[in-house]
């Protein structure tokens, strides 16, 4: 075992730390994260720094500076990829990938939690792709014919979608 650690270079040590750390942190990454940079990104960056530095044979005085620069550059790339690629896709994501929220206008459904005029309830919409539960409130039109309460079990039709 000690021979393994003695033969290990800094680059292979960084790669091993990156792999082991990434595997260990997967269960706790949602707990230990800061905005766009979670703990797994640290270990992924360490792995790539080790991988890239195995390709270079350099003097020890320049090696530390290069490793720090590589770590910062890779970390910045991971943050930018998350910020400009993953976050916009997550913002557009919906519960049903086949229908947009606007496609539910006109669909029929049934009330599962009673809806009062000043509170929200829940409805289940029946679409060709399955049943979709959604929160709902009473649609108030310009006239005063709007109902004050829609009881559980009543049929509804989606009139408008907020947001």
Contact status, residue 156 vs residue 123, Cβ threshold 8 Å: yes
Q: What share of the chain is helix, strand, coil (3-state, %, to 5)?
A: 50, 20, 35
What is the average per-residue pLDDT within 18-32? 75
Check whether residue 8 and residue 85 sit in a common domain. Answer: yes
Pair (105, 86) in one structural domain: no
Q: Residue 110 above 90 pLDDT?
A: yes
Can you tell me the mean pLDDT for 4-18?
A: 78
The secondary structure element, H or E, covering residue 125 is strand 121-127
In a domain, 162, yes or no: no
For the cut 70, the answer to whether the pLDDT of residue 132 exceeds it is: yes
The whole-angstrom separation of Cα 52 and Cα 40 is 18
Same domain, 88 and 129: no
Question: In angstroms, how far apart are the furthest CA atoms of the chain?
Answer: 84
For CA atoms 137, 135, 111, 109, give the dihedral sign. Answer: positive
| pLDDT at 93 > cutoff 60 | no
- Res. 154 pLDDT band, cuts 50 70 90: very high
Helices (H) and strands (E) in the chain, counts: 5, 8
Is residue 86 domain-shared with residue 109, that is, in the same domain? no
- Are 10 and 84 in the same domain? yes
User: pLDDT > 70: what percent of the chain?
Assistant: 77
- In this structure, the answer to whether residues 15 and 87 fall within a common structural domain is yes
> Does residue 75 sit in the same domain as residue 126?
no
The yes-or-no verdict on residue 14 having pLDDT over 70 is yes
Q: Are residues 79 and 107 in the same domain?
A: no
Query: Average pLDDT over the chain, rounded to whole?
Result: 77
- Tell whether the model's pLDDT for residue 35 goes beyond 80: no
The predicted pLDDT at position 123 comes to 92
Q: Who contacts 12 (Cβ-Cβ below 8 Å, separation ≥6)?
A: 50, 54
Q: Structural domain of residue 52, as residue ranges?
A: 2-92
Q: How many separate domains does the chain show?
A: 2
Q: Are residues 87 and 113 both part of a single domain?
A: no
Residue 122 has pLDDT above 70, yes or no: yes
Helix (H, G, I), strand (E, B) or coil at 97: coil
The CATH number covering residue 127 comes to: 2.40.50.140
Q: Examine the fold and report which residue of 74, 92, 110 is the final residue of a domain before the chain moves on.
A: 92
């Amino acid at each position: 075992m000690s021979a393994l650690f003695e033969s290990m270079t800094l680059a292979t040590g960084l790669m091993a730390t990156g792999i082991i750390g990434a595997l260990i942190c997967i269960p706790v990454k949602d707990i230990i994260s800061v905005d766009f940079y979670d703990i797994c990104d640290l270990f992924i960056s360490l792995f790539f720094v080790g991988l890239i530095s195995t390709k270079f044979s350099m003097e020890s005085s320049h090696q530390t500076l290069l490793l720090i620069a590589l770590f910062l550059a890779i970390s910045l790339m991971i943050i930018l990829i998350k910020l400009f690629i993953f976050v916009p896709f997550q913002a557009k994501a919906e519960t049903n990938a086949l229908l947009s929220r606007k496609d539910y206008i006109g669909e029929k459904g049934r009330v599962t939690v009673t809806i009062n005029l000043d509170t929200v309830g829940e409805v289940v919409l029946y679409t060709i792709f399955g049943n979709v539960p959604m929160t709902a409130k009473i649609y108030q039109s310009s006239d005063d014919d709007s109902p004050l309460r829609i009881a559980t079990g009543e049929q509804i039709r989606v009139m408008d979608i907020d947001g």
